[in-house]
Amino acid sequence: MSKWMKCLAVVSILTVLAACGQNQDGDGGKQAIAMQWPEPPEMTIDPERNYTAKLHTSKGIITLELFAKDAPITVNNFVFLAEQGFYDGVTFHRIIQHFMIQTGDPIGDGTGGPGYRFEDELPSPHVYEPGIVAMANGGPNTNGSQFFICSGPSSYSLNERPNYTIFGKVTEGMDVVEDIASAPVKMNPKANPNVEPPSMPTEDIYIQKVDIIAG
C-alpha cells in the first residue's frame, strides 16, 4: 500500500465516528443521560493565560498543556465541559493502536456530544505527533466534545490532511496514554466494518474527572 493510501485509510478511520451531539441512552461510560446545551459556551478563558488539564483516568493521570492562544474557542469549550463535569465517567470508546485514543462521548459509541457544534480553528501552528490532543469531528466545523490523543507513529500521517483542531499536548502521563492504546479491542457495533477496524475496548477505560488549572 502506498504512503498516500495509508494516509487516506488513517484519515477515513478517524472521521467514521462523528461527534454529533445526540442525546440518547447508551451502554458506554458511566453517565446514563448526557448533559446537553443548545449552543457553545460564551468565552470565559483568557487566551493569554496558561491552562493545564489533569485527566484522572482509570489507568492513571494524563496532564495536558492547553493551547489557549492558538485555539481559544476549542480550549474554552474543553474547559467549560470539564468544569461542568461533562467528562466525568466518560469512556475511551475508540482505540487504534499506534495511532490514537479517543474519548469525550457520554454515550460511549461515538455518536454522542454536548448538543451543539462549533467551528474549527485551522490551520494550526502545531503538527500531529504522539502526545498531541485534537478534536474529533465529522467534517468541517462539527466539533463538539469528542477529542483524541495521538498515541503512536501513525498519527504523523494526519499532517497530510490536517483537518482536526489541535488544542493541547501531553506533558506528563504519556505512559498512561500508551497503556490505554495497548488495550484489547473489539468491533464497535455502530461502525462500518468495511472501513473501521476493531477499535472499541473490551473493558471500560474511562475518565474519572478532569481538573483545570489556570496559571
Contact 47, 58 (CB under 8 A): no
H-only helix segments in the chain:
3-16, 72-83, 174-181
The CA R_g of the chain, rounded to the nearest whole Å, is 16
pLDDT digits 0-9 by tens, 52-77: 999 999 999 999 999 999 999 999 99
Distance between CA atoms of residues 184 and 173, nearest Å: 20
In terms of CATH, what superfamily is 3-22+41-214?
Cyclophilin-like (2.40.100.10)
Write out pLDDT tens, residues 1-34: 444 344 445 544 544 434 333 333 333 445 546 7
Q: Is the dihedral of CA 169, 170, 171, 174 positive or negative?
A: negative
CA 107 from centroid of its chain's CA atoms: 14
pTM above 0.85, yes or no: yes
Stretch 130-140: mean pLDDT, rounded?
98
Task: Say which residue the cell 491552562 belongs to.
Answer: 51
Band (pLDDT 50/70/90 cuts) for residue 44 is very high
Pick from 202, 78, 211, 203: nearest CA to 149: 78
User: In this predicted structure, what is the pLDDT of residue 33?
Assistant: 61
C-beta separation of 53 from 173 below 8 A: no
Tell me the per-residue pLDDT of 166-201, one tens digit each, with 9 for 90 and over.
999 999 999 999 999 999 999 998 888 888 889 999
pLDDT, tens digit (0-9, with 9 covering 90-100), for 73-115: 999 999 999 999 999 999 999 999 999 999 999 999 999 999 9
Residue 69 half-sphere exposure toward CB, CA atoms < 13 A: 6
Rounded Cα distance between 215 and 199, Å, is 36
* Three-state DSSP class for residue 63: strand
Residue 25's pLDDT is 36
Alpha-carbon torsion, ordered 167, 173, 178, 184, to 10 deg: -100
Taking the C-alpha atoms of residue 42 and residue 85, their distance in angstroms, rounded to an integer, is 17
Residue 47 pLDDT more than 90? yes
